[in-house]
Amino acid sequence: MLSVHLVAFFFSKLQEDPTKKVDRFLHAMRLNDEQLKDISARFQAEMKKGLSAESNDAAAVKMLPTHVRSTPDGSEKGQFLALDLGGSKFKVLQVKVREGVGLKKGGVEMEEKTYPIPKEVLIGKGTELFDHVSDSLKDFLHEKKITLKKKHPLAFTFSFPCQQSSLDKGLLLSWSKTCRARGLQGKDVVQALRQAINRTGGMDIEVLTLVNDTVATMMTCGFDDEFCEVGLIIGTGTNVCYMEEMRHVDLVEGDEGRMCVNTEWGGFGDDGALDDFLTEFDRNVDAASSNPGKQIFEKMVSGMYLGELVRLVVLKMANQGLLLDGRVSNALKTKGKITTAHVAAMEEYKNGLKNTRAILIQLGLNPSQDDCIAVQHVSTIVSFRSSNLLAAGLAAILTRMKQNRNLRGLRTTVGVDGTVYKTHPQYPKRLHKVVRRLLPECQVRFVLSDSGSSKGAALVTAVAQRLASLRHQVDETLSQFTLSQDQLQLVKARMRAGLEAGLKSKGPTAVKMLPSFVYHTPDGTERGKYLALDLGGTNFRTLLVKFKKGLRNTTRLYHKIYAIPLEIMQGTGEELFDHIAECVGDFLDYMGMKNTHLPAGFTFSFPCKQTAIDTGTLVSWTKGYKATDCEGHDVVSMLREAIKRRNEYDLDIIALVNDTVGAMMSCAYEDPQCEVALIAGTGSNVCYMEELKNIEKLHQETGSTEKDQGKPEEENDEQEENGAERGKEDSSMTKMCINTEWGGLGDDGSLDDIITPFDVEVDLHSVNPGKQRFEKLTSGMYLGEVVRQVLLDLTRGGLLFKGRVTETLKTPGIFQTKYLSQIESDRLALLQVRCILKQLGLDSTCDDSIIVKEVCGAVSRRAAQLCGAGMAAVVDKIRENRGLDHLNITVGVDGALYKLHPHFSKILQKTTEVLAPQCNVAFVPSEEGSGKGAALITAVVIKMQDGRLAA
């Protein structure tokens, strides 16, 4: 009975499908999707190692920076020579790149000649190899009748691993393939080529770029397909490159934009990362290779090794009696007898089995039909594993690109070159299918590269020249915003002159230097409850401010915000102030204080001429206000009259406050050294404590309003009768806070030498042409518009947004200053910059985003430097006023530009430090200047009045 079962088993095996026999034998080579995802994750980890400066030395996947920063955009043009050295022969080419114009696409024309490299040169001295290349280059120039008198730019495709430190410098890491020339490893191959050209003589050649063949493949496809950002070689060897975010490329300084990274992924697994996927056949191939333990991934997938893997499998199966009736031939035992070309032939659609039989017969074998089917299936499994492994690697790269750009899906094109991809009948389809299965959310297109390694090198050179030209033009434009130390010193001097002139003259001056009638900063003893009223825009705020004494001073604020409807902003003055009075009444009701008589400070952020602390005549409305019968009138009196008309509550308005002065007072409550304030927000302004004796315009006034802080006019006569007493009161009044209104600097033409054509455009289209010139260079209201003017100019010059001037870009005010703060953030990737631009209706490339960021930086840097120069003038004046060699002082700062812009504050501080070296200036953010500051001014005034009464 047992013998019957054995015979049955024997015959069942004889009739078994030969492919199943192979499947069982090669089960380790048949990879499922989970295994491929595992391999993909491992490759992603290896990529990170290679990109990191800390782990690159030990990384198996080297991730070499190529210094290629952009793919073609179709505007490239020029005529170039190209050398393509990658094996036992090389090409010399003349490449003409034609720019695309309108609907007509650009094109590339090439003439080429292939030169063999003798074997003795391939393994001889490196100088001999490059002398042979240089001699052949000269021969090509003669043959093609290319003039030797003219300088020719040359692109050099060098298909061996190099560590590049620039686009035209690369140290050879190692030879591969059949080349072993001595004395070049660790040397700069571009320099070696230049030296050989010099030795040959008679040529004027400028080697501009060193390009890997994989990068050249990507660039060639990128010329026709703007989405091509990956290059793949699968031929004798294998490699891939892709566009990586610069912020992840540790080996190159800078984090803006992208750079093509040559992965050298053939080394994946050299550190053991693929050991559990290696079969005995892989280990045998590796052991018999010229570089055991190296290029493990390449040995599993590339054309140099696929045929040998098939031979080893067939040999073992035959030795075990599973094929060819257990018979082997000497040819089958010989390394290299089955090639990748044989593998491709075996897998042809119609003639595959016929080709397999012919190949086996060539090897001295007598195969059966089942043998042919089995050997063909061996070939299929080996090549299928190759395409699967490549798909896993590509999936890792595409996943990384997608994550870098924070996208749910990715649309990209992979440029491909190499004999395996070109000649194997089923390889491309298998590769495409598995990549799309592993990444269903990505749209991946594969394009065969035409003469990739040659044409691509010329395109790299053309792109480099385009970028260099663009860089020069952009730099030339932005240089207008660069201020030298001498120019900043001049601005400081002009600001100082403006300050002095404004203090002397009652007449119109560029820097107005308005007296605030605030004689003291807080001393920390201020106590009590105060109201603060704040009108400065489309909202009106009412605040209750409480100052308490404890272990440390504390301040509590309660506030409500009320809208100012447009019809009231642009109605009558009486309607406006009645609305304000109504809001104050509502707030007092809300706080349960309607019957309480409270002192109040009124922050009124519009230009006023003050003649006392509680008196101010409106000079002109700004910020969209047009209420009638207000300009030329005392705004405090108008508010008092409106409160009287309501007859609901009593309010004692002690002080009319400018927001800049309020910011200083708020900061001084915490820091007694604070005697200056800067507003750097929508507007720009500075106030500071000036020596009273220097305010000559006050001494020109008739009467003594400057000495009657907070007093009704009827008390003036009484003061005049008590001159001795008044002198006693005035002894403490040695300083007064001056509201500089420095935004007017330059209205007299003093800044014309630093004003750019872009500033002129902004000024011409403003509501006040010729006015507030300094403010238009430094404040948040205008910086975004200056940037828009620059972007418009660059776009019209074809340097941005592909030269397309959109309606959005032509719209005044569309580029708000908040976008400068967002775009210049160090944490913001260029993809997010592109998102901001897209919100504005500006479709940008990565290169566009870099330029936009640079424009924003140039405009905001100049603004901060100008504010620093102005501040240096102010603090140096204070130091000289006091006869000091060195001044320690604090500046209270408020405004969104200072608080929100990522670099403004640092540049401002640094500029002030450099231009005022004898001053130690601390910049401190001022909180609630228009609320807390107004209350503090009120408290200081009341304290002074109480002191006078006590005296």
Q: Which residues are catalytic?
A: 541, 605, 659
Structure tokens at 197: 């050209």
d(CA 923, CA 911): 12
**Whole-number CA gyration radius for the chain:** 40
- Report the first-to-last Cα separation within the chain, whole angstroms: 133
d(CA 611, CA 704): 10
Cα maximum dimension of the chain: 144
What contacts 552, CB < 8 A, 6 or more positions away?
A: none
Structure tokens at 668: 């001084």
d(CA 619, CA 123): 88
d(CA 427, CA 726): 102
The DSSP letter of residue 926 is P
Classify residue 243 by burial, with Cβ atoms within 10 Å: 0-12, 13-18, 19+. Answer: buried
Sheet holding 554-563, edge to edge: 554-563, 539-548, 528-535, 598-604, 651-657
Please write down the HEC assignment for all residues of 630-657: CCCCEHHHHHHHHHHHHCCCCEEEEEEE
Structure tokens at 188: 């700069």
The DSSP letter of residue 930 is I
Structure tokens at 379: 């070939």
Classify residue 479 by burial, with Cβ atoms within 10 Å: 0-12, 13-18, 19+. Answer: exposed
Q: 684-691 and 735-739 as β-strands: parallel, antiparallel, unpaired? A: antiparallel
Question: Nearest 5°: CA angle at 466, between 465 and 469?
Answer: 85
Structure tokens at 358: 């012919």
Residue 765 has, within 13 A of its CA and on its CB side, a CA count of 14
Confirm if 630 and 685 have CB atoms less than 8 A apart: no
The DSSP letter of residue 681 is S
Q: How far is CA 9 from CA 331, 385, 876, in A?
A: 33, 32, 105
- As beta bridge partners, residue 554 has 548
Structure tokens at 852: 């936009």
Sheet holding 78-85, edge to edge: 107-116, 89-98, 78-85, 152-158, 205-211
| Residue at token pair 């022969």 | 89
Structure tokens at 786: 């200056």
